[in-house]
Amino acid sequence: MVDLRKGEQHVNDQKYKLTLCDGPTCIHNRSREIRESIESEIEKQGLSGQVSIHLSGCLGMCKKGPILIVNPGYVMYGQVQPEDIPAIIKSHLVEGNPVAGKVIQEDHLYNRFFRIFGDVDFFGKQMRITLRNCGIIDPENIDDYLSVRGYEALAKVLTEMKPTDVVAEVKKSGLRGRGGAGFPTGLKWEFTANQKSDEKYVICNADEGDPGAFMDRSAIEGDPHTVLEGMVIAGYAIGSRKGIIYIRAEYPLAIARLEKAIAAAREHGLLGDNILDSDFSFDIEIRLGAGAFVCGEETALIRSIEGARGMPRPRPPYPSVSGLFGKPTLINNVETWANIPVIVLDGGDWFNAIGTETSKGTKVFALAGKVRNTGLVEVPMGTTLRKIVYDIGGGIPNDKPFKAIQTGGPSGGCLPAEYLDTQIDYESLAKAGSIMGSGGMIVIDEDSCMVSLARFFIEFTQDESCGKCTPCREGTKRMLEILTRITKGNGKEGDIEKLQRLGRMIQKSSLCGLGQSAPNPILSTIKNFREEYEEHIREKKCRAGQCAALLSYVVNDKCVGCGACKRVCPVNAVEGTRKEKHRILEDVCIRCGQCYDACKFDAITKA
Amino acid sequence: MTDKITIHINNKEYQVDLGQTIMQAADKLGFHIPRLCYHPKLSIEGACRVCIVEVEGARNYVASCAFPVSDGMKIHTNTQLLRKARRDIIELILDNHPLDCHTCERDGNCELQRLAASMGIRHRHFEGEKKHYEKDLSSDAVIRDPDKCILCGRCVRMCSEIQQVHNLTQAHRGFNTVVMPAYNMPMGDSVCTACGQCINVCPTAAFLEKNYTQELFEKLNDPDLIKVAQFAPSVRAAIGEAFGLEPGRNMEGELVAALRKLGFDYVFDTQFAADLTIMEEGSEFLERFQNGGTLPMITSCSSAWMKCMEQFYPDLIDNISTCKSPMSMQSAITKSHFANKIDVDPKKILSVAVMCCTAKKYEAARPELEVDGMRSTDIVVTTREAAWMIKSAGIDLLGIEPEEPDHPLGVSSGAGAIFGTTGGVMEAAIRTAYELYTGETLVDIEVAAIRGLKGIKEGKINIDGKEIRVAVAHGLGNACKLLDEVRRDPDKYHFIEIMGCPGGCVGGGGQPYAQVNTIPLDDEALKKRAEALYDLDRAKTIRRSHDNPDVQKLYKEFLHSPLSKVSHKYLHTHYKKKTPVGIVPKTQL
């Protein structure tokens, strides 16, 4: 049997352990060059053999990247550039003095989870269960995972628990599916476990498709073994021998790390026949998706794995009864899987104590939009939106007023300021008119037009509709047309009512969750920002100044006649003689805004 | 064993069987929930959402075609909100539909039209952009018109589930979704077998046969041409439906009279050539059976099946009978022996076939079926096209005095009649082969084991102490299943009959559209059409092909004997392996 403890040693061998964030944003910001620089500096400064370099998955703190962590001491450097490396190596590793200017350091708080960067405010206010190892361990090194109690839960399950015990523990935890719908995970396991079948499947849904969402990708890139471990445990619990991870081909780094992790797990006897010398055998393979949004819907995903066009089918039968190739199938999302090992190790009761009455544990959000600290945040259920936006997110840049927050990805709703104290859980968000979804969270300030925003999202869902059912295929197209004409200044009386009528019908009648939730951004913005729609339609006015067709540019009395606007105008819409006030011809103007940007005298008014 | 449960529909309580969908339960109780993509022979799609109902406690409306009933379920099929949603869904379909009903071939026969009428859509609220695609006219048989398509997916399911041709699929997403062959290949180059079942199940006119009626009217008015018609067995059993009759009325005499009135100089009966086919095919089988030829021998009458075999089962080409189909035999004799007999240049003969089949249009264009350098069948029209022509010419098919087909290619036996239904070719062949082999007359000539609508039927016939194992498949999907079995166990059968369409020719892709309140390819209708042919057989004094006096005369005057040199020239053909475009043959992998 594999020695699950030997990882600890591996970590303690060297004098210094450097961890470099290898998430896509950091890679984009030259983290790979930094790595080369570190390697050569270590050589140069005579530290060969004393320092190990590890890569981590995305830490979620993308705004501060690239991030370099020096252990022991968990000293975290932010916005590191290759040029900074010689000084850091010399001062910190050779002389023992961290380079103060580069260290991200705030009050010292200690997070409950393993070793975490609690002294950094961004992390200190989070609670990391799903992402507990992301940024801590080298995702490409199974020993690193073993050193943080990796696969211990699996060992516990195989040696101490009956399959029914495992299901009971997951049920006790109160964990609900993190893919969006929030179905109780334990029940899903129980349904699948109760099916009699010669073959059953366990599927990991890693087809993360929401624009701007990268929770699942980061979880896999930072800690692939956790997902594998969760799936193997489920295989044991429901009586399956075969797991499949369905992941989009656009995630090459995550795929590479999964492949490496699967190979390493097989080598260590943690996957394959007779896992940890038990009677239980389970293996996992990866299937790549072509990136259709709808393939995140479980029945479409299953069809895609089967080799057919990814289109949802009506349920029942649910996959737990008839799933992949007609066999009982347990399908959970990446984030759900990542919770399983912790629940097994620390117990369902412990997990159940976190969160709210109906929603337990933590949830990862991809915080984006008009907020200072964009990135990945994991918070306990029940945290308020305000806390995420202002405490963790650091508020809105330039202290502009908060206008709305859009949760749940492209099919979520937009909530205005009066909902900022809404607790995040499945029911509260639904009551407020939005959804948990898979965890997208976009902060909106007054510069955003709510009609354009709604239009953007319905354009996405219309584009990604599989085309199977009428309400989603045809209905979202008509909604998009109506919204487009409103933003172009051609809106008509009655358009709002048409949008509502279509929206409600689509919600009630569509085949799958994509269609049923597609009208959410529109219905919620109509509910909460109806006056903006009315302004667009009646006054042909966009208060955020975002709908180009509704803007007009007018030269005011500050004009000195310098001619800068005239020179940049691509359509010759500006006329006037030098040193005299100029004029913009409204009929010719295409509202590109170049004159506005070019004017140094504030002489052009946008209205 | 079924359990009874209680459900409520529209506040009334009913006892129903467990294990069925809401739609099935409602149908039996007399609630016809509106529907569009649903077809009882195809898998549940749940796509159109027209059949939505409200189930108390459910968050959203459910598709009644897919949702099972459960005890205590409270269902509403007709609330105001539900009616409005259903109406809006149908309007959304109409909003993206050409609405050129008056010039559409399905006018009066369109399920969408009927549905819209029943919903009472008087205003349109959501009009906007409509899709536009070019019509695909590349095939000789089947036209694809995506503008008319409402994406119900029936054709896709028909093509893959029943026919297993897998030619059609949805492609692209959202508003741009369209049904097309793989790689958007033209239908004519695709693996389409031209069976026309997509036309049968299409609720609108997104699939149609290539229409030759105008060309035919033109030629019928050409005084220099000798106009010769033939009509397939199952046309007579179905054409009445296009005139409002119940399925299964034999309209043979009326059809002959109507074709004469349309301007044909000679009206022959394809059943004559069916008898001829049996003479050749029966002899070919005995020849193979006695002399160690390739077995099982497989029939070759069905043109869709021919293309299917050449594409997907080219390894079985040697098993296929070399006999042409009855249509092509009839045309070949028409343009050779018959032309001689009436002393005209065969080039002056217009050979027209009225067929239950769309694939016959494809077959007629196959170059290997040319006779003396001429196309043997000039024009093929389907039962539907013929019915339209008869109406268009103002001929009263229902009131017309029945007439007899012409000599010398018009007399047929009962065996020729049953060619139109699954199992019929085999039964006819057995009647003749038995006698040719034993020299004795088969007494019990009705072979029950191979009648009926079971997908694959098997039978054993004892001929002179030798057991002949036969099998019959109808619908290309069943054919594929049977042939996979042949690949596994080549010795399992001696003789196999395959018809490409469900039910055989009676269910052909060119048969009349389903009438109001019926569904396409309804089993009951297929059975009634088949029964009309069996009735015809029973009513005949001559029930064996070799007893047909005109067939005997033809051999005496022209062909000499079955499988003779002349026979081979005019009545037999050959097949070629066809590699579907885009599919890499195993040998190249």
| B68 near A CB under 8 A | yes
Residue with tokens 């953007």: A456
| Amino acid sitting at position B108 | G
Average confidence (pLDDT) over A68-93 = 85
Rg (CA), chain A: 27
What 8-state DSSP symbol labels residue A558?
T
Residue with tokens 């396991």: A189
Helical (H) or strand (E) element with A453? helix A450-464
Taking the CA of residue A240 and the nearest CA in chain B, the distance in Å comes to 28
- Cβ atoms < 10 Å from Cβ of B188: 17
Cα–Cα dist B499/B319, whole Å: 15
Cα–Cα dist B62/A316, whole Å: 10
Which of B73, B175, B178 is the mutation pick for testing A, counting most A CBs within 10 A?
Answer: B175
Please state the separation of Cα B489 from the chain's center in Å.
29
Cα–Cα dist B48/B37, whole Å: 6
What pLDDT does residue A113 have? Answer: 36
Distances (CA, A) of A460 to A52, A151, A518: 45, 40, 9
Cβ–Cβ below 8 Å for B126 and A498: yes
Which of A311, A427, A509 is the mutation pick for testing B, counting most B CBs within 10 A?
Answer: A509
Average confidence (pLDDT) over A202-216 = 92
**Nearest Cα to B338, choosing from B573, B560, B558, B562?**
B558
**Nearest Cα to B571, choosing from B290, B304, B232, B283?**
B283
| B154 near A CB under 8 A | no
3-class DSSP assignment, residue B209: strand
Strands A440-445, A402-407: pairing kind: antiparallel
Cα–Cα dist B269/A175, whole Å: 73
**Helices A215-222 + A224-238 axis angle, to 10:** 100
Task: Give backbone dihedrals phi and psi of B209, rounded to 5 degrees, phi first.
Answer: -75, 155
Assign A114 a pLDDT band (cuts: 50, 70, 90).
very low
Residue with tokens 């589930």: B161
Instruction: Tell me the per-residue pLDDT of A434-476, one tens digit each, with 9 for 90 and over.
Output: 999 888 999 999 889 999 999 999 999 999 999 999 999 999 9
What pLDDT does residue B585 have? Answer: 57
* Percentage of the residues of chain A whose pLDDT score is greater than 70: 95
Cα–Cα dist B30/B12, whole Å: 13
Average confidence (pLDDT) over A314-343 = 96
What pLDDT does residue A107 have? Answer: 31
Distances (CA, A) of A182 to A511, B313, B549: 18, 49, 78
3-class DSSP assignment, residue A553: strand
What pLDDT does residue A280 have? Answer: 97
Cα–Cα dist B540/B66, whole Å: 48
HSE of B165, CA atoms in CB hemisphere, 13 A = 32
Residue A11 clears pLDDT 80, i.e. is over it: no
Instruction: Tell me the β-bridge partners of A440.
Output: A366
3-class DSSP assignment, residue B430: helix
What pLDDT does residue B176 have? Answer: 96
3-class DSSP assignment, residue A201: strand
Average confidence (pLDDT) over A2-15 = 56
Q: Cβ distance B298 to B496 under 8 Å?
A: yes
Contacts of B93 (CB under 8 A, 6+ apart): A470, A474, B36, B48, B112, B150
What pLDDT does residue A5 have? Answer: 53
What pLDDT does residue A117 have? Answer: 55
Average confidence (pLDDT) over A47-65 = 82
The answer, yes or no, to whether the previous bond of A341 is cis (omega within 30 of 0) is no
Cα–Cα dist A245/A248, whole Å: 10
- Cβ atoms < 10 Å from Cβ of B578: 14
Write down the mean pLDDT value for chain A. Answer: 90
Distances (CA, A) of A100 to A18, A97, A124, B562: 17, 8, 20, 103
What pLDDT does residue A1 have? Answer: 47
Q: Cβ distance A201 to A242 under 8 Å?
A: yes
* Cross-chain CB nearest to B46 (options A313, A466, A476): A313
Q: What is the 3-state secondary structure (H, E, C) of A279-340?
A: CCCEEEEEEEECCCHHHHCHHHHHHHHCCCCCCCCCCCCCCCCCCHHHCCEEEEEHHHHHHH
Contacts of A456 (CB under 8 A, 6+ apart): none
Instruction: Tell me the per-residue pLDDT of A516-556, one tens digit each, with 9 for 90 and over.
Output: 999 999 999 999 999 999 999 999 999 998 998 888 899 99
* Cross-chain CB nearest to A477 (options B50, B128, B151): B128
Cα–Cα dist A303/B306, whole Å: 32
Phi-psi region for residue A316, left (φ > 0), alpha (ψ -120 to 50) or beta? Answer: beta
Cα–Cα–Cα angle for A409, A415, A419, rounded to 5 degrees:
130
What pLDDT does residue A105 have? Answer: 54
What pLDDT does residue A75 have? Answer: 79
Strands B142-144, A75-77: pairing kind: unpaired
**Helices B80-95 + B111-119 axis angle, to 10:** 140
3-class DSSP assignment, residue B53: strand
Cβ–Cβ below 8 Å for B151 and A466: no
Catalytic residues of B: 281, 284, 301, 321, 360, 363, 368, 505
Spans of chain B, pLDDT less than 70: 1-2, 582-589
Max mean pLDDT range (A255-264, A540-549, A584-593): A255-264
Residue A119 clears pLDDT 60, i.e. is over it: no
Helical (H) or strand (E) element with B63? strand B62-63
Cβ–Cβ below 8 Å for A468 and B151: yes
| Greater model confidence, A336 or B438 | A336
The answer, yes or no, to whether the previous bond of B34 is cis (omega within 30 of 0) is no
Reported pTM: 0.89
What does the block give as tokens for A318?
Answer: 């649910």
Average confidence (pLDDT) over A225-237 = 98
What pLDDT does residue B429 have? Answer: 93
Cβ–Cβ below 8 Å for A292 and B173: yes
